[in-house]
A and B are shown apart, each in its own frame.
Chain A
Amino acid sequence: MGKVIVVTSGKGGVGKTTSTAALGAALAQTGAKVVVVDFDVGLRNLDLVMGAERRVVYDLVNVIQGEAKLTQALIRDKRVETLFLLPASQTRDKDNLTPEGVERVITALKKAFDWVICDSPAGIERGATLAMRHADVAIVVTNPEVSSVRDSDRIIGLLDSKTLKAENGETMEKHLLLTRYDSARADRGDMLKVDDVLEILSIPLLGIIPESMDVLRASNVGSPVTLADGRSAPAIAYFEAARRLNGEALPVVVPGDKRGLFGKIFGRRAA
């Protein structure tokens, strides 16, 4: 049985879709079977970031409504054999996502894939709650600024109450992914510190992704950053985050930090 991950944030535009694609491609490059699922019905974007937009015929809503089989809707990546995309619908609205339908699709995907990564829409409405509903693991994507941290806190509350795991009395495994981290601003002291965010949100750190032009370039050409330029700083950070998801205990390095060893945050787990 595969693991279901939800990539969520509450706040919009923090890097959920970028992270879903980058982590999905990183995990798939190790040979694992990975499907990335776009839950942003009406505003799909994951197909663009994956560079599969020309090949979308059927989508998640078609499968849920019984208009297409799951196998017809899955799009195999042209670069990594074990990477697949299940696109969202561009034309229908979120009401077409029924809880029963989503359950059926996720159950089927879990049987066929090692990782099922769900790209959540922003907000705390139906699309977001359905995307997190069946998750085993949650990645909370946060930017180091006050409104994003506040929204992440809200999302963590939902993860602990509105998911199947929560309803069954289990605890959801949650990880913080700090994205768009700008080391120049951090040096000037104009940004929330990593430690501050960790202390406030009290969930373990999966990685810190630097703010980088490489992310924009990758999205321009329709490639997850971990495929477009594997040696770029954001790609390296995503590769390391993927290894941590796989259970490796790698130390997290704060981007641009020149203090060397002292800058490393090792196994720092919030209480």
Chain B
Amino acid sequence: MNLLRFFTRQQSGAAARERLQVLLAHDRASTGDSELVTKLRDEILRAISKHMEVDADKVSVKLERGIPVSTLFVDVEIPHDAEKKAA
């Protein structure tokens, strides 16, 4: 067994504990994450649409849960001629 393998072996139980803490905190709160993300997505799309033409399918909003904070990722594909079209 090499050292790296030995080292990672020591940690798997602790990793499991940490992952479960994050997961259960969010499970128990069950704040309806997917509804929130859907709402955010729609509103973000509307805000962007005021300024340029974007394809609704090209706006992706993702959430990564964490403790104490979660991260929201907004990914918008903007075509080169989007501004022209909106004008």
Query: Does the CB pair B63–A221 fall under 8 Å?
Result: no
- CB of B12 to closest CB in A, whole Å: 4
Interface residues on chain A, size class: 20 to 34
Residue A168 interfacial (CB < 8 Å): no
Q: CA–CA, A51 to B64, complex, Å?
A: 12
| In the complex, A153 has a CB within 8 A of chain B | no
Instruction: Name the A residues within 8 Å of B34 (CB-CB).
Output: 57-59, 62, 67-68
Q: Which residue of B lies closest to A229 (CB)?
A: B5
Please give me the residue from chain B that is nearest to A59 by CB atom: B34
In the complex, chain A residues whose CB is within 8 Å of the CB of B61: 57
Question: DSSP majority for the B interface?
Answer: helix
Q: A48-B23, A67-B34 are in contact. Are A54 and B13 (CB under 8 A)?
A: no
Interface pair B62/A57, CB less than 8 Å apart:
yes
Within 29-59 of A, Cβ neighbours of B (below 8 Å) are at 48, 51, 53-55, 57-59
Q: List A residues 194-243 near B (Cβ within 8 Å).
A: 216-217, 219-222, 229
Interface size grouping (class) on chain B? 20 to 34
List B contacts of A69 (CB < 8 A). 57
Residues of chain B with a CB closer than 8 A to A222's CB: 15, 19
Is A90 part of the contact surface with B, judged by Cβ < 8 Å?
yes
**Most-contacted residue by chain B among A48, A51, A220 (CB, 10 A):** A220
Instruction: Say yes or no: is A72 at the interface (Cβ < 8 Å to chain B).
Output: yes
Q: CA of A91 to CA of B27 in the docked complex: distance in angstroms?
A: 9
A92 to chain B, nearest CB (A): 11
Contacting residues, chain A, for B23 (C-beta < 8 A)? 48, 53-54
Q: How far is the CB of B51 from chain A (nearest CB, A)?
A: 23
Does A91 lie within 8 Å of B62, measured CB to CB? no
Asked if B22 lies at the interface with its beta carbon under 8 angstroms from chain A, I say yes
A18 CB to closest chain B CB, in angstroms? 15
A71: interface (CB < 8 Å):
yes
The reply to whether the CB of B83 lies closer than 8 angstroms to some CB of chain A is no
Q: A57-B62, A90-B27 are in contact. Are A220 and B33 (CB under 8 A)?
A: no
**Binary flags per residue of A99-120, CB closer than 8 Å to B gives 1, else 0:** 0000000000000000000000
Residue B65 CB within 8 A of the other chain: yes
Contact B12 A221 (CB under 8 A): yes
Residue of A69, A91, A221 with highest tally of chain B CB at under 10 A? A221
By the criterion CB–CB under 8 Å, are B38 and A54 in contact?
no
Kindly state the separation between the CA atoms of A90 and B66 in the bound complex, as whole angstroms: 18
Check A54–B65 contact: CB distance below 8 A: yes
B16 near A221 (CB under 8 angstroms)? yes
Residue of B at shortest CB range from A219?
Answer: B16
- Set B15, B30, B33, B60: member contacting A221, Cβ < 8 A: B15
B9 interface residue (CB < 8 Å to A):
yes
Contact partner of B57 among A53, A54, A59, A71, CB < 8 A?
Answer: A71
5 A-B contacts, Cβ less than 8 Å apart? Answer: A59-B34, A69-B57, A216-B12, A219-B16, A221-B8
